[in-house]
Chain A
């Protein structure tokens, strides 16, 4: 890890990994929204950060000027040896039109509300298994004992990988999520080898014994009358891991953090379970986990900013969701907020394909947790022990909770 100088002025030198931003980004975004509203940095080779709902929407809907060739900010840019721009490494998140449309149509049915409804009983049972394991403890960790396990089990189940491989699968997920930050390409490739081998085995096993799961679905899928390239299948599987795990984990853990620190909201949710759908949307708005990125395609002027080809664009859906021009009392969590046009799952053609799944996982995880533990607070009332993830996925990680009777 390289040591970076701390940020002094986020308007001209922003860094989404700066400790101040990681600990509490909201005051920073509020200030930028007032005075910029598009911040700039020379870090990462140059980038921009729009902070208003209006500008975030404009970028998300502008696939002519912004490419999704890569959606995670790093020090490098995908070079000439990167997969062809319209497809990208992990279609369709890394794809631009027109290929994007084809790759997206292909995966959407696998994450449709109907499929998600079918997997709900598994999620409920799994959450209860985790809660059983926590039984008898006075202090539990809402992050590392609970939230982090749920999406891993769901994705393993959806891919149709064996339950007995759960620990191994969780290890692979860890490597993949950490690995995207590994700057050394050779190291990154070496780390990926056992994962690729395991996935290939699973794919072969599914070729021999097709069944009703995401792996068989991808193997059967066709584009223009032909089966998918193996790289496309593997890329999509990796996308499901990268996009579907620490995001939902964050959503669940941040919601539990909120309930632990706002006893009135916890009490209302326990006593008025019919509030849950509104509460989920407010958790998603107020604690939006996901920030995306784009690259500027060619030099152009955006809202008075002279953007250059290959500049980064940090697409801050969480910042948009705190814009007072778009939300009444934007800085207040209102558990029964009725009008909530939040963009936590993004906007336009790249709307999170797993949004129905994520919503269901959050709802079931919170429902089961508060059913088992209707009263809990932060352990020892110590907010400093709570940690938040760094980077483009924000969520509570260490979350010690005292269970009260």
Chain B
């Protein structure tokens, strides 16, 4: 599993790095960024799904 942020859709709602700080960080503008290569370890898969499901801008996607 891998998480991806669509930077064009992200407006900095801050839900992803609030829910899963292990997977997401923020930049100077407060927009979400994926940490590292975005590969999700099995124990964080639930958090990755929640980050995706809570983004009001639908900016997060999960790739198998």
Contacts and interface: CB of A to CB of B under 8 A. Distances in A.
Nearest to A320: B56
B56 A356 contact: no
A108 B12 contact: yes
Given A277-B18, A342-B56, A347-B56, A356 B50 contact: no
B14 interface: yes
A113 B17 contact: yes
Contacts of B14: 113, 355-356, 359
Task: Indicate the size class of the contact surface on chain B.
Answer: 10 to 19
Nearest to A116: B30
B53 A351 contact: no
Nearest to A317: B56
Contacts of A348: 11, 57
Contact of A339 (B11, B28, B29, B54): B54
Contact of A341 (B18, B26, B29, B56): B56
Given A338-B50, A351-B12, A355-B13, A109 B18 contact: no
Interface in B31-64: 50, 53-57
A101 B12 CA distance: 14
Contacts of B19: 277
A356 B30 contact: yes
A339 B30 contact: no
A112 interface: yes
A171 interface: no
Contact of A112 (B13, B29, B53): B29
Contacts of A356: 14, 30
A105 interface: yes
A120 to B, nearest CB: 14
Interface in A219-275: none
A342 B50 CA distance: 13
Interface of A: 105, 108-109, 111-114, 277, 281, 338-343, 345, 347-349, 351, 355-356, 359
Given A277-B18, A339-B53, A351-B13, 18 more contacts: A108-B28, A112-B28, A112-B29, A112-B30, A113-B26, A113-B30, A114-B26, A277-B19, A341-B53, A345-B13, A347-B11, A348-B11, A348-B57, A349-B11, A351-B11, A355-B12, A356-B30, A359-B14
